[in-house]
Amino acid sequence: MKAVLYYRGALSSCNYDCPYCPFSKTKDSKETLEKDRQQLLAFMDWVRVQGAAGHRLSIFFNPYGEALVHRWYREAMMELSHLEHVEKVAVQTNLSAKLDWTEQLERSKAAFWVTYHPGQTSEVQFLSQCMKLYRNGLAFSVGSVGIRSAFGAISRLRGELPPDVYLWVNAFKDRKAYYTLDEIDYLTSIDPYFQLNVPDYDSLGAHCGAGENVFYVQGPGIVKRCYSDRKVIGHLYRDGLEGLSSERPCGMKKCGCYIGYIHMPGLAMNDVYGSSLLERIPAGYAR
């Protein structure tokens, strides 16, 4: 079976404190961090033996916080990138951690979804980190939340990044009808695919890979169909992929987050992103 696994452990803290982000509102105790480490070790034990069962896996780490400041996530990415049955390992990161370890990645399999947070790091420091990935030949996209106060920083970033690095803008959706038409045009001039992210797509009853070949795994092994659907569909370590997989039409009225709607085949997002759907790199930007 070919499957995508989104993994989120007990980690719920970040080294940044962006006002619009829930990840920045907590500080994990030593006990919570150890729990997160043990959960990831158990997940890695499960992944290692899946090749013998004929499974091909793509894994995306999207914790409630910053993963790469913790050694166990870096070690997991390095190992996963070298496993034959793992087709891709990607991570959502603010890129604040040291990057010397990335030299040990299998470059053809590792990818980074990099988020820029103006005010949390300097543009010079952030660009320096991005260029380390770029010079090392690692796949990555860069993006930021499109709040008005960040427009200038996002525009400057686009001007400084190499043209073959895709910069995405996440539409700010905490307020309805946040953007004027002129603002949408402006952000589209920076991110040519911005308008794909602006709508909340009608999804109730729609076919989606979530729960069929895309699974959202929580630290203890609990599996949900989708990151925003609270219904538990099973347990990874008890049921396995075959026991979990079933065609499950969406039960949510709307889907407005990239990691959700990209798995709705009716939207044909594969036509835009090709083999780099997880790390959000449009086909025309692939290096």
Instruction: Tell me the pLDDT band of 37, cut-offs 50, 70 and 90.
Output: very high
In sequence order, the β-bridge partners of residue 222 are 235
pLDDT at residue 121, rounded to an integer: 76
Backbone φ, ψ for residue 98 (5° rounding): -60, 150
Q: State mean pLDDT over 57-62.
A: 97
- Write down the pTM of the prediction: 0.94
What confidence score (pLDDT) does residue 19 get?
60
Average pLDDT of 76-94? 97
- pLDDT tier for residue 138 given thresholds of 50, 70 and 90: very high
Strand 229-235: give its sheet, edge to edge: 167-170, 139-145, 110-115, 86-93, 56-61, 2-8, 214-218, 222-226, 229-235
Q: Average pLDDT of 11-34?
A: 69
Residue 65 pLDDT: 85
- The pLDDT confidence band at residue 280, using thresholds 50, 70 and 90, is very high
* 176-233 residue pLDDT tens: 899 999 999 999 999 999 999 999 999 999 999 999 999 999 999 999 999 888 889 9
pLDDT at position 51 over 60:
yes
Assign residue 148 the CATH number of its domain. 3.20.20
Tell me the percentage of the chain whose pLDDT exceeds 70: 93
Decide if 253 contacts 267 (C-beta within 8 A). no
Q: Which domain holds residue 247?
A: 2-285
Is it the case that residue 24 has pLDDT exceeding 80?
Answer: no
Domain count within the chain:
1
Q: How confident is the model at residue 12 (pLDDT cuts 50, 70, 90)?
A: confident
